[in-house]
Structures are given as structure tokens and as C-alpha cells.
Structure 1
Amino acid sequence: MREAIGQLMTSSFMNENTIPAVAVPYTKKSLELAERWSKLKQIQKVGIRFILVQENENIKLYK
């Protein structure tokens, strides 16, 4: 997840219309990180959303 955030932040394709999001498989660890990191001021300032995809194709969104 950390690497995905880094790729997102260094992308030259971000502009004012971009909704920054990171999609990862749903695991206990990714849930823990999404819950914790979505509360960080620097993540909130950029507006990064975390999309956790479960095996049954349901998603959980954290912003």
C-alpha cells in the first residue's frame, strides 16, 4: 500500500480532476493500514481514498 501511495503521488497524470485512490486486496493488514492512514493529516490533505476489494467483489472505501 505504501508503494501504491508513492506511485500515486509521483504520477504526472494527476490534475484537478483526479480523485486520488489506492485499490488493494482486502486483508486484515490492509484494513488496519487503511483505517490508520486515512486519519493522517497528509493523506486527508491530498484526499487519498483507500479501496479494499474483497474476494466476493464487495469493496470497502476509506477516505
Structure 2
Amino acid sequence: MGEAGMQRVIELEERMAHLEASMDALTDALLMRERELRDAWLAIDRLKGQLIELAPAASLSPEQEPPPPHY
């Protein structure tokens, strides 16, 4: 292999190393976003549960409401 061929191989290896580093960075970013998304869904599920627990108290009719404290 001549000098030009060897230089071409070196350039390709450098490009490949750069692409691998970029792919690793993208994979790390994707994994972080997946964790954030999972945590957000868990928080939403917890809030839904709390809302369901609070809903019966919020739907009382005026006759079922306890009197205000000043009575």
C-alpha cells in the first residue's frame, strides 16, 4: 500500500472513531431522556392517584358540605 493509500486508511479510521464517539454521546443522551420520561410518567401516575383520592371530597353537594367554621 502506497503513502496515499495509508493516508486514506488513517483518515477513515479517524472518521470512524469520531462517528463512534458521536454515537456513544447520542446513546447516553437518549438513555437520559428515557429515564426522565419514565420518571415523568411515574409522577403523572402518582398525581392521578392523588386526584382520584381527592375527587370524592371535591364532588360533595352543598347539602353534604360541613358548615363553615364560623357557625
Common fold by TM > 0.5: no
Class of the TM-score when normalised by the shorter of the 2 chains: under 0.3
TM score, norm. by length of structure 2: 0.23
Greater strand share, structure number: 1
Greater helix share, structure number: 2
TM score, norm. by length of structure 1: 0.25
Greater Rg by CA: 2
- Larger RCO: 1 or 2 (CA < 8 Å, sep 6+): 1
